[in-house]
């Protein structure tokens, strides 16, 4: 199957936020691809704007039902990549949170700004 378009993060964000040009993005969606880096950027931006994880999932990772393929499995690569991107974004968030906590602990112990 050949992709009809490859979308970047700005195109997806325009679509999700109803910005000008979102109608053109919507027209290209059937058959379009998004690389994991761009999808990760979209997730990070939405999370950075305090969008709840459940809403991000609803917008980007709606469950899809798949048929068993010729190899005898029902793995949907789009869903799996989406899960990997979500886990990567969650990991980055936890790393930032832990870094902040460790800085606060170091400041409390040493009594100086780090």
pLDDT along the chain (114 residues), means of 10: 79 85 80 84 88 82 62 71 86 91 92 77
Q: Give dist(CA 40, CA 9) in Å, integer.
A: 8
The predicted pLDDT at position 82 comes to: 83
The predicted pLDDT at position 100 comes to: 92
Listed in order, strand segments (DSSP E) in the chain are 5-7, 32-34
The predicted pLDDT at position 102 comes to: 92
Q: Give dist(CA 96, CA 32) in Å, integer.
A: 32
């Amino acid at each position: 199957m050949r992709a009809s378009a490859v979308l970047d993060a700005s195109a997806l964000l325009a679509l999700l936020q109803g910005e000008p040009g979102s109608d053109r993005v919507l027209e290209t969606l059937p058959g379009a691809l998004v690389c994991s880096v761009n999808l990760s950027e979209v997730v990070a931006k939405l999370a950075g704007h305090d969008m709840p994880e459940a809403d991000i999932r609803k917008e980007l990772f709606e469950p899809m039902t798949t048929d068993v393929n010729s190899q005898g499995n029902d793995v949907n690569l789009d869903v799996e990549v989406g899960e990997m991107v979500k886990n990567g974004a969650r990991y980055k968030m936890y790393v930032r949170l832990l870094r902040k906590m460790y800085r606060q602990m170091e400041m409390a112990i040493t009594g100086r700004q780090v």
